[in-house]
Amino acid sequence: MTHDLRWTLLAWSVCAVAAAFKFARLARQMRGSLSPNPERDSSKAVRARLERIWQKDLP
């Protein structure tokens, strides 16, 4: 039983494209405004903001 390598590559390509779009959406929303914000200096605040963006982006 042999598997066609093209199907495996297609599946990995779809996953890679989906991950790239997810990253682009997260990065775009994380950049948001470029105005200085003292809250962004806190790593906990940044983590909380990323988690909110991630949850909002789920289907």
pLDDT of amino acid 36: 59
User: Residue 30 in contact with residue 50, Cβ under 8 Å?
Assistant: yes
54 has a pLDDT exceeding 90 = no
Contact between 45 and 39 (Cβ < 8 Å): yes
Per-residue pLDDT tens for 10-36?
A: 999 999 999 999 899 888 877 765 555
pTM given for the model: 0.56
The 10 Å Cβ neighbour count of residue 4 is 8
pLDDT above 90 (res 59): no
Q: What is the pLDDT of residue 45?
A: 79
